[in-house]
C-alpha cells in the first residue's frame, strides 16, 4: 500500500478500532476508485448531475481596474453552490461500491452536510450528519436543508460545540458502526487515505482549469489563488499544477478580525506542528498541545487544523500561504457583487481579496485564476450584519 505521508505530515494517528475500516478504505481507494468503471460512473455524475465542467470566467471589468488578467473558476455554479459536492458524490459512489448503506459526516457551517445529504439522497444511502450545537443554532437554514434531503442532523454538545467536536463525534460513531457505514469526511484532512481521496475527487477543478485555460490562451495561467480552511478546494485546483513549477500557487488563510490577539484560522501562518483528527499537520494549539478555538467571518474556513499536504507544500515552498482578514474579505465580496454581478461565498472572498491586493503590481499579460469555491447566498445574513 502507498505510504500515508506527505513528507513528515499525514499518517494514521487513530485508535486501533479505526484501523480496520481505514485499511478497508485504503484498499478501496487503491482499487475501486482507480478502476475505469468507477471513474466513468463518477465523471458521468459530475457531468449530468453536478453540472460540470464549471465555467472559467474572465472578469473584464475587474481586470481593467487591477491591471492584470483575472479569471474565476466558477465552483459556485456547481450543484448545491460549492465545490463540496465533487467530493461527496465521489465518496457516496464509493460507499455503494463498498457495499455499505449509510454515510456519516461532520459539518461546520452546513455546506458539507448539505452536499453529503444531497449525494446520499441521489444514491439511495442513509445519512447522519453531526454538527456542533452552536453551529446548529447559527446555521438553522442549512439544518432544514439537510433534513429536507432526508438526512438526520445530530447536534454535538461537547467541548466548543463546533466543527472539531463534530469531527470527533463522527469518528466515534464510525468506530461503532464501521460495518455498514462510511465516514464521508469533508476536507483534505483526517487520517490517510482521506487527504488523498478527497484531493483526488476535487482534482477535477484543476484539470478543468488547465484544459479551459489552454483552450482559450494556449498556455498555462501564471498564478492560482484559493482559500484554505481544511484546504479541499485549494488542493483540488492546485494538484494538477504541482508539476508545472512555473505556475505560482497561493493559499489564503483567514486572519479573523486581524487584531494581534484575535481568534483566527491561519493555521499554516501562525500554527505549530501537531497531531489532530488522525493526521500530523499544523494546528492552532497551546504550548501544552491543547487545541485552540478558531474563528473567521467565513464559516467554512473556521477549523484549527489544515490538510497535511498543504503543510508539505508550505515546507517544500511549492505553494505560499498568506492571510486575509474579515474586513478585507468583506470588501472583496462587495466588489465582486458590484463589478461582475457574482455573489461569492465569504470563504472564496478571502482568495479574491488577496488577488485585489496585487492591484497594479503585475503586468497586463499576467493571468491570475481565483478559485471561486462557492456562492455567497448562504452568507447574506452574516454580510448584512457588517454592511
Nearer to another protein, 19 or 214 (CB): 19
Q: How far is the CB of 159 from another protein (least distance, A)?
A: 6
Q: How far is the CB of 229 from another protein (least distance, A)?
A: 17
In the chain the first and final C-alpha atoms are separated, in Å, by 52
Q: How far is the CB of 284 from another protein (least distance, A)?
A: 11
CA atoms in the 13 A half-sphere facing the CB of 355: 35
Q: How far is the CB of 167 from another protein (least distance, A)?
A: 8
Q: How far is the CB of 92 from another protein (least distance, A)?
A: 24
Q: Tell me how crowded residue 93 is: count the other CB atoms within 10 A of its CB.
A: 22
Query: Is 184 in the active site?
Result: no
CA separation for the pair 60, 141 (Å, rounded): 34
> Which DSSP state fits 363?
-
Q: Tell me how crowded residue 207 is: count the other CB atoms within 10 A of its CB.
A: 15
Nearer to another protein, 276 or 369 (CB): 276
The DSSP line for 198-250 is: HHHHHTHHHHHHHHHHHHHHSS--SEEEEE-SS-HHHHHHHGGGTT-TTSEEE
Nearer to another protein, 54 or 181 (CB): 181
Task: List CB contacts of 359: < 8 A, sequence separation 6 or more.
Answer: 65, 66, 67
**Would you tell me which residues interact with another protein (CB under 8 A)?**
4, 11-20, 158-159, 164-165, 168, 171-172, 175-176, 178, 272, 274-278, 283, 285, 287-291
Alpha-carbon torsion 309, 345, 159, 197, what sign? negative
Marked catalytic residue, from 59, 127, 184, 227: 59
Nearer to another protein, 56 or 276 (CB): 276
Query: Is 59 in the active site?
Result: yes
Query: In 101-183, at which residue ranges do the beta strands (DSSP E only) sit?
Result: 102-107, 126-132, 152-156, 181-183
9-13, strands of its sheet edge to edge: 5-6, 9-13, 278-283, 272-276
Give the residue among 135, 141, 120 at the shortest CA–CA distance from 184. Answer: 120
Marked catalytic residue, from 83, 264, 277, 350: 83
Nearer to another protein, 164 or 264 (CB): 164
Active site residues: 59, 83
Amino acid at each position: 500500500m502507498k505510504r500515508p505521508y506527505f513528507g513528515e505530515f499525514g499518517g494514521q494517528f487513530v485508535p486501533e478500532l479505526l484501523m480496520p475500516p481505514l485499511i478497508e478504505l485504503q484498499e478501496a481507494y487503491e482499487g475501486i476508485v482507480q478502476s475505469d468503471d468507477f471513474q466513468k460512473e463518477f465523471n458521468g455524475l459530475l457531468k449530468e448531475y453536478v453540472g460540470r465542467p464549471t465555467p472559467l470566467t474572465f472578469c473584464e471589468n475587474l481586470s481593467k481596474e487591477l491591471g492584470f488578467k483575472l479569471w474565476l473558476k466558477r465552483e459556485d455554479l456547481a450543484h448545491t453552490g460549492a465545490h463540496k459536492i465533487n467530493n461527496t458524490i465521489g465518496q457516496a459512489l464509493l460507499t455503494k461500491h463498498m457495499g455499505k448503506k449509510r454515510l456519516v459526516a461532520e459539518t461546520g457551517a452546513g455546506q458539507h452536510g448539505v452536499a453529503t445529504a444531497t449525494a446520499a439522497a441521489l444514491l439511495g444511502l442513509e445519512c447522519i450528519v453531526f454538527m456542533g450545537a452552536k453551529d446548529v443554532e447559527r446555521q438553522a437554514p442549512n439544518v432544514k436543508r439537510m433534513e429536507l434531503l432526508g438526512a438526520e442532523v445530530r447536534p454535538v454538545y461537547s467541548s466548543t460545540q463546533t466543527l472539531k467536536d463534530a469531527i470527533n463525534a463522527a469518528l466515534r460513531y464510525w468506530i461503532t458502526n464501521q460495518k455498514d457505514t462510511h465516514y464521508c469526511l469533508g476536507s483534505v484532512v483526517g487520517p490517510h487515505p482521506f487527504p488523498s481521496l478527497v484531493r483526488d475527487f476535487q482534482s477535477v477543478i484543476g484539470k478543468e482549469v488547465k484544459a479551459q485555460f489552454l483552450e482559450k490562451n494556449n498556455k498555462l495561467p501564471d498564478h492560482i489563488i484559493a482559500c484554505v480552511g481544511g484546504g479541499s478546494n485549494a488542493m483540488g485546483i492546485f494538484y494538477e499544477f504541482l508539476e508545472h513549477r512555473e505556475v505560482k500557487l497561493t493559499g489564503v488563510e483567514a486572519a479573523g478580525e486581524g487584531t494581534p490577539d484575535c481568534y483566527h484560522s491561519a493555521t499554516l501562518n501562525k500554527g505549530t506542528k501537531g497531531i489532530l483528527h488522525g493526521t500530523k499537520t499544523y494546528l492552532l494549539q497551546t504550548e501544552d498541545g491543547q487545541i485552540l478555538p478558531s474563528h473567521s467571518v467565513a464559516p467554512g474556513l473556521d477549523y484549527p487544523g489544515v490538510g497535511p499536504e498543504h503543510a508539505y507544500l508550505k515546507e517544500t515552498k511549492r505553494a505560499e500561504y498568506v492571510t486575509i482578514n474579515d474586513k478585507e474579505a468583506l470588501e472583496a465580496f462587495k466588489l465582486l457583487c458590484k463589478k461582475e454581478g457574482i455573489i461569492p461565498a465569504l470563504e472564496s472572498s478571502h482568495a479574491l481579496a488577496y488577488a485585489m491586493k496585487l492591484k497594479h503590481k503585475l503586468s497586463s499579460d499576467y493571468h491570475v485564476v481565483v478559485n471561486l469555491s462557492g456562492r455567497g447566498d448562504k452568507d447574506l445574513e452574516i454580510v448584512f450584519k457588517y454592511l
